[in-house]
Amino acid sequence: MNGKEIVQKVRQKMKDHHELFARAIPLIASENITSKEVREATLSDFSHRYAEGWPGERVYAGCQHLDEVEFICMDLAKEVFGAKFADVRPISGVVANLVLYSAFTNPGDISMSISIPAGGHISTGPLHTSKGNYMGGTAGAVRGLNVKYIPFDRKGLVIDVEKAEEAIKELKPKLLHFGASVFLFPHPVKQLAPVAKDLGATVTYDAAHVSGLIACGHFQDPLAEGAEAMAFSTHKTMFGPQHGCVVSSNDDEEFTNKIKRATFPGMTSNHHLHNVAGLAIALAEIKEFGKEYGAQVIKNAQSLAKYLETEGFTVVAKDKGYTKSHTLLVDVSPLQEKSGLGKDIEEALEKADIILNRNLLPWDMFEGRNYLNPGGIRMGTSEITRLGMKESEMKEIANFMRRVVIDREDPTKVAKDVNAFRSAYQKLHYCFSSNEDAYKFIEIY
Ligand SMILES: Cc1ncc(COP(=O)(O)O)c(C=O)c1O
């Protein structure tokens, strides 16, 4: 292929991708879709610029408009999270976590976080060595932290508060880092933060998944409950562009300087100014539409869980009402003989244009399963909520899933019904301009 053909091919692939998402049911818990205004920001000239340093104190010229937008973004982040300080420069959730590690720990310090099988994220995980290679989670492999796990009640899907308290007292961590990727229920920040702080730890919270729900006032409020700083992605339940952020309840100069310096020059040079502009717009949307959006996301997750149970699936944490967030986790191991495990089911559903991901269950490793073909599938309801879906649509989605996974109907046949269903949900909700097709490919030339 010559250069021009490659350009055409890449453009065509992007168009195909847009078409796929316009006809499919998007259920990946870490994803969302941005408004027209946010997308405009991400396409703007902001994406070509550098502005190293703190706004107003840059070491580049040409930053006056960028600076003003960044101040607006910081003010909005402080407002929606009830924070005293915000740094909107980390370029992703992983980078925001690294900012916290580098601000509040030294290599070799003990940190405590949730293990991956219990729903934790790779960025909070320990170092592993395999055949002489160093690999593993960011906290261990990049910051050199000695990562210990917060005790977790595997069947109850919650942190075991009593055991966690004992472990904190015994280990005396430098950092107690809450948060998870399978985040069904709030973490016991209120109970455990004072224990850790008394022993000299900094208490932080990774809100990558739930930042949108927190900003909307529909999940726990970690800063008010005792977390001193919170790191998060801006594009999961929060419907901003792909970016990161750190906010804190502490505006003491010594404390905030640690975060600022860890972000720049520590973790960033260019901090993706187009995404800072997009984030400012998304935060304004959250302020305006967040209450309604967050409530519906959670109602949809609970209702999808309930209908999936009715259709014959085993949704975890039934005794606790399945979830208090956007996420639900299904144990597919009872279906193994007929339908396979997480990977097989993810692939079958993908053929029906239902897009979700396989996921480890907290007890998988003990039953001989691993992340390649685990016993679970995970779903999130943020994106389908933005498409205007409510409880009755959750019933239809659960039924499509039953037809593919339990009835073993030809997924390509189910896809036709999925596509017909999706055709009625093309517009974006909870934003200022809701009359545009959500997945329209924007052509500039
Ligand atoms: C708990 C948690 N932290 C951090 C991240 C990383 O976020 P990002 O992809 O924005 O770097 C994720 C991503 O899914 C996550 O689930």
Ligand 1 midpoint to CA 267 (Å): 16
Q: Over the stretch 373-401, which tens digit does the pLDDT of each residue have?
A: 999 999 999 999 999 999 999 999 999 99
pTM of the model: 0.97
Percent share of the chain, pLDDT over 90? 95
**C-alpha pair distances (Å), 312 with each of 113, 145, 398, 420:** 34, 43, 10, 24
Cα torsion angle, 229, 232, 238, 244, sign:
positive
Distance CA 29, CA 31 (A): 6
Confidence of residue 339 (pLDDT cuts 50, 70, 90): very high
Over the stretch 238-269, which tens digit does the pLDDT of each residue have? 999 999 999 999 999 999 999 999 999 999 99
First to last CA, the chain: 21
Instruction: Compute, in angstroms, the gap from residue 111 CA to the centroid of ligand 1.
Output: 18
Ligand 1 binding pocket includes 357 (Cβ within 6 Å): no
**Which pLDDT score, from 0 to 100, does residue 136 have?**
85
pLDDT at 445: 72
- Whole-number average pLDDT of the chain: 96
Backbone dihedral region for residue 145 (phi beyond 0: left; psi -120 to 50: alpha; all else: beta): beta
At 161-196, the pLDDT tens digits run 999 999 999 999 999 999 999 999 999 999 999 999
Question: Is ligand 1 within 6 A of the CB of residue 323?
Answer: no
Cβ-count burial 268-286 (b if 16+ within 10 Å, e if not): beebbbbbbbbbbbbbbbb
Q: What is the amino acid identity at position 242?
A: Q
For residue 110, the CA-to-ligand 1 centroid distance in Å is: 21
User: With bands split at pLDDT 50, 70 and 90, how would you rate the model's confidence at 444?
Assistant: confident
| Amino acid at site 329 | L
pLDDT for residue 227 is more than 90: yes
Q: What ranges do the domains of the chain cover?
A: 38-284
Predicted confidence (pLDDT) at residue 435 exceeds the cutoff of 90? no
CATH class of 38-284: alpha beta
